[in-house]
Structure 1
């Protein structure tokens, strides 16, 4: 019987859709029926468990699941003995301190002797210890942002994406204590066969990630400007150059990082490139 790799992902909430999309982008066919907590991929040796995000680190530590996708905020709060094997690039947020908009926040020392409401007492206590501050932590679940308004606390520590929820509750973000994204974690005691399956899975994940971070670019270049244009292109090795039917022109193909994209495109235009076509990359194997 073929061994399967068991992966735990969030059954609902912030990371669920992106986790399932990642599996599908990796060519793994996942069918998740309504309220189904376990399924198997049809074309890859993978069992998928749909669990509460707070439980995933524990399940991976206990080897109920071999690997899991979880936010760093949950991972470090639960402090379980698992290994992080890959940052996944989605589910980005920050764990931040917020106070009432009328307060004058002067830095971490502001929290001395204050009451702090949070769902993340471990991370908050670690931050306070690092800063040499003593404060009273109130652990609550859900609706943390209302705590100052009802007199429960003078500050909160909560996940922030856009900050709109804080604004609507009369709060302002004043300090970030953790930047978080989804990560792939693994049990520390995988056997040789499980590690081979994990390597196959990681190969697919990294190809998908690489594709998302790069663009395939095609352009027409006058022959007398060709070397100047090629010099601007980073490429994986070197750009592809093909002669066009019209004399004195070539077609140049290359890959450009998303982070460098607009700066390089402007330079290519200035160097004489024309008819620049940008195409998304589905997978990228190096």
Structure 2
């Protein structure tokens, strides 16, 4: 039986988040210490643990069928590779950073400056778009040190919390792009493995929808139901069940987590009581 070959970053936050979502979609992978390849026990899938920067070439060559990879790496190295699904975790930015002492107004301030980066393609495209000429120093590794040793006037690198910039006396000056983990597919994937990948994508979508929403149960007097229903839409409409207490009902619905607290406040103002909120593991619609 054919197996879907999927690449995952070998270590780090993206690796941990990738393995968690695979576990959440019901795929059990027993990867022993330092293994570079492991098979799932209950799904036709093999995981390959690779350096993030090497994954785009493996996709292009068809060595792996798919990958969970940072969107920023695909933008830099993955020309021609299709993104099937944005996964909503391992978010970061690719940003320009300059020494804290430098007064930065706009991207035009980089004219004629030296920029250290491990993202030359991304930086060149950005500079060309803004008609700025600068000299790039390509560095693989600790880019943040470049201004401190006189190698560059600015850097372009990944920024997550900003703590690394702060420790190196730098400040974020410009955001080139925002990135998150994505599910990417090889242009050489077979039809058989594409069907397996489609099944994996369906599971991922169900988990992601669950993560974006919360299940809400509440009690309300019947004379307040219309007002509460207008506040609390579900996938189609809330479920309403009569309570043993005369004149009261229980409402069940789904709320987007980004709107959660505003909606809860409004529900309370309109007579809702006993509000119970539950996480959703999977949401199939």
User: What is the TM-score when the length of structure 2 is the normalising length?
Assistant: 0.98
Partner of 2:157: 158
Query: Do the aligned partners of 2:39 and 2:47 also contact (CA within 8 Å) in 1?
Result: yes
1:48 is aligned to 2:16:
no
1:178 is aligned to 2:180:
no
Partner of 2:234: 235
Partner of 2:272: 273
How far apart are the structure 1 equivalents of 2:9 and 2:139? 21
* 3-state SS of 1:58 partner: helix
How far apart are the structure 1 equivalents of 2:13 and 2:138? 21
* 3-state SS of 2:13 partner: coil
1:121-140 residue pairs with structure 2 within 5 A? 121-140=120-139
* 3-state SS of 2:149 partner: coil
Partner of 1:97: 96
Partner of 1:143: 142
Query: Do the aligned partners of 2:98 and 2:153 also contact (CA within 8 Å) in 1?
Result: yes
Partner of 1:167: 166
How far apart are the structure 1 equivalents of 2:142 and 2:188? 38
Cα offset for 1:101? 0.9
In structure 1, the gaps of 5 or more residues are: none
* 3-state SS of 2:148 partner: coil
Query: Do the aligned partners of 2:60 and 2:188 also contact (CA within 8 Å) in 1?
Result: no
Query: Do the aligned partners of 1:58 and 1:80 also contact (CA within 8 Å) in 2?
Result: no
Partner of 1:206: 205
CA deviation profile, 1:69-96 (whole Å, cap 9, x unmatched): 1101111111343111110101100000
Cα offset for 1:195? 1.9
How far apart are the structure 1 equivalents of 2:45 and 2:78? 26
Partner of 2:108: 109
Q: How many residues were matched structurally?
A: 285
How far apart are the structure 1 equivalents of 2:16 and 2:114? 35
User: What is the TM-score when the length of structure 1 is the normalising length?
Assistant: 0.97
Query: Do the aligned partners of 2:61 and 2:188 also contact (CA within 8 Å) in 1?
Result: no
How far apart are the structure 2 equivalents of 1:115 and 1:8? 35
How far apart are the structure 1 equivalents of 2:25 and 2:283? 11
Cα offset for 1:190? 2.6
Cα offset for 1:237? 1.1
How far apart are the structure 1 equivalents of 2:28 and 2:201? 16
